[in-house]
Amino acid sequence: MATTDRYALRGVSAQKEDVHHATARLNKGLFPNAFCKVYPDYWGGDADWCNIMHADGAGTKSSLAYLYWRETGDLSVWQGIAIDAIVMNLDDLLCVGATGPFTYSSTIGRNKGLVPGEVISEIINGTQAYFDKLSGFGLQFHFMGGETADVGDVVRTIIVDGTMACRMRRDRLVTTEKLKPGDVIVSLASYGQAIYEDQYNSGMGSNGLSSARHELLHKDYASKYPESIDPALPQEVVYNGRYHLTDPTETNLDAGKMLLAPTRTYAPVLLEVLEKHFEHIHGIIHCSGGGQTKCLHYLPGPMRVVKNQLPAPPPLFNMIQEAADTEWREMYQVFNMGARMEIFTDENTAAEIMSISKKWGIDATLSGHIEAASQKELLLETPYGSFRY
């Protein structure tokens, strides 16, 4: 069975076609090509300012955390889920130049019969602990509380989301309107160990988990934890892999922790980049849902993005590809493949950005450039072939 068919049978879509169709007629905000929707300054009424609000979460990674916690008793995985929900909001907002202060509201839906209060405590306290850690890098957050709902008839285990907002000056926005042929791309690695991370990061992020966990994990989990899956799923797309959660890998993480590695924030890097090189930043793209094709949604006009020097995928993505025999073209559409943040700029500034990133322990690559073209398109040149989108 083709991997695209397996994605559809699991009820997921890498490109979110239905969502894009549903929102096609909505107001796109002040800057339609900005990575996040930018609103007028409704709260302050100042034409020089704007408001930004963003909602995201850990997705089905919380189902994986549930499995790992039930298997091992390790409550710390829930702190990672709290980080995932924060970073998937924070790093999207950083893409438009937002640096705070931020407000944050947490939204948790759980099946109370399966997920006890100690898990909720780990998530909520883990949220505050991560904000405290980020404050050491000059970021300011106001944790506004949120909603924790017992919705067992709707949520099989638990889902963890958040909403983040801020008010900022319009003249500090990064909107991608400046993208043009001749720009180069700096891609920041999603894997390795940044100096502000406690251990090796596999680069997983919080996208593609429905595919990754089912392709990697063993069928045993379907019978042992039926609550972790949709009972309507065909058996041929449920936990097809050979790995058990605590199986060793070529890294110092077991298979479960490889998938559960907390989503890396690039906040310390981007804060320094925006402070020193704001005028030369033409666009910032968070390669989350849609993987390396994400940039296509934010191009201001016809142009070709060429990525011909992306880093080699780290071990996790090779594990996923081998387990499912997924076509490499699809891998680059679903996963970040080891590079989850990209900055569009000029060549001289690119060198400075790479130096800043490496100072923080994050590898950076001059991964491509923009060319003139008659339509919006992306060309990936990889060790596994050339792919046009």
Tokens 């000056």 belong to 169
* pLDDT given at position 22: 67
Q: What's the token pair of residue 97? A: 């130049």
Pairing mode, strands 376-382 and 303-307: parallel
d(CA 92, CA 153): 31
Quick one: 361 exposed, middle or buried, by C-beta within 10 A (0-12, 13-18, 19+)?
A: middle
* pLDDT given at position 28: 82
d(CA 287, CA 200): 20
d(CA 243, CA 241): 6
* pLDDT given at position 205: 97
In the structure, what pLDDT confidence band is assigned to residue 16 with cuts at 50, 70 and 90? low
Task: Please name every residue paired with 345 in a beta bridge, in sequence order, or none if there are none.
Answer: 184
Compute CA 211 distance to the chain's CA centroid, rounded to the nearest angstrom: 15
Quick one: 26 exposed, middle or buried, by C-beta within 10 A (0-12, 13-18, 19+)?
A: exposed
Q: Residues 330-347: what's their mean pLDDT?
A: 97
Task: Please name every residue paired with 142 in a beta bridge, in sequence order, or none if there are none.
Answer: 103
Of all residues in the chain, the percent with pLDDT exceeding 70 is: 94
In the structure, what pLDDT confidence band is assigned to residue 17 with cuts at 50, 70 and 90? low
If you average pLDDT over every residue of the chain, what do you get? 94
Torsion of CA 250, 255, 257, 263, to 10 degrees: 80
Q: What is the pLDDT of residues 198-229, one digit of tens each?
A: 999 999 999 999 999 999 999 999 999 999 99
Nearest to 177 by CA among 272, 313, 82, 282: 282
d(CA 88, CA 55): 8
Least confident of 25-39, 65-79, 236-250, 305-319: 25-39
DSSP structure string for 160-226 = EEEEEEEEEEGGG---STT--TT-EEEEEESSB--TT-SS-B---TTSSHHHHHHHHBBTHHHHH-G
Q: What is the pLDDT of residues 280-293, one digit of tens each?
A: 999 999 999 999 99
- Asked whether the predicted pLDDT for residue 137 surpasses 60, the reply is yes
Plot region of 143 (φ>0 → left; ψ -120 to 50 → alpha; else → beta): beta
For 258, the domain range is 3-388
Task: Please name every residue paired with 272 in a beta bridge, in sequence order, or none if there are none.
Answer: none
Q: Which amino acid is at 200?
A: Y
Question: How many domains does one find in the chain?
Answer: 1
Q: What's the token pair of residue 108? A: 């948790």
Task: Please name every residue paired with 382 in a beta bridge, in sequence order, or none if there are none.
Answer: 385
CATH of the domain at 334: 3.90.650.10
Q: What's the token pair of residue 58? A: 């850990």
* pLDDT given at position 27: 79
d(CA 3, CA 33): 31
CA angle, residues 141, 166, 196, in degrees to nearest 5: 40
Compute CA 30 distance to the chain's CA centroid, rounded to the nearest angstrom: 24
In angstroms, the first-to-last Cα distance of the chain is 23
